[in-house]
């Protein structure tokens, strides 16, 4: 699975002008499933996200996780993370999982995050045209790949 994490002061996702999900401080997590991914991949991804130390401690060092700070998670499906731009000017997305598998694994990530994270967990809407609004904190943006 592929993920792109952005440490945010706040973030929200809108679908057709309605807020689908929103958080205060925490992580905006864009998620993309690949064909070889399984629910075990989703479990490893969530575990890694919850433990990744990218929030400042009292000394200003990135030493705390989203779980440590009680931050929110806003999880958004984004198949374009699997883009292959090596073959010209139009990206190929053939490395992304097929839509049904992608939906199943996205929903697994959400379920697992809600089971394991004490803070708020919000979501976008799979397959929808979404507008994502965020205030990146830092800025801190971390790519993450789970095999």
* Residue 28 near residue 132, CB atoms below 8 Å: yes
- Residue 80 annotated in active site: yes
**What region, left, alpha or beta, does residue 54 occupy, with left being phi > 0 and alpha being psi -120 to 50 degrees?**
alpha
The CA distances from residue 22 to 41, 121, 129, in Å, are 25, 9, 16
Set 6, 30, 55, 78: catalytic member: 78
Set 80, 131, 141, 145: catalytic member: 80
Say whether the peptide bond before residue 139 is cis (omega within 30 degrees of 0): yes
Set 6, 38, 79, 126: catalytic member: 79
CA distance 29 to 17: 21
- Residue 79 annotated in active site: yes
Residues forming the active site: 78-80
């Amino acid at each position: 699975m592929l993920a792109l994490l952005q440490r945010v002061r706040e973030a929200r996702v809108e679908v057709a002008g309605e807020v689908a999900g929103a958080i205060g401080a925490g992580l905006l997590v864009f998620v993309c499933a690949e064909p070889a991914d399984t629910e075990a991949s989703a479990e490893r991804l969530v575990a890694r996200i919850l433990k990744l130390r990218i929030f400042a401690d009292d000394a200003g060092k990135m030493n705390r996780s989203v779980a440590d700070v009680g931050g929110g998670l806003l999880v958004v499906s984004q198949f374009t993370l699997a883009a292959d731009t090596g073959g010209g000017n139009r990206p190929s997305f053939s490395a992304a999982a097929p839509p049904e598998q992608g939906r199943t694994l996205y929903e697994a990530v959400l379920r697992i995050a809600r089971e394991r994270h004490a803070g708020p967990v919000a979501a976008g809407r799979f397959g929808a045209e979404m507008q994502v609004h965020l205030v990146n904190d830092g800025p801190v943006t971390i790519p993450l790949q789970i095999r």
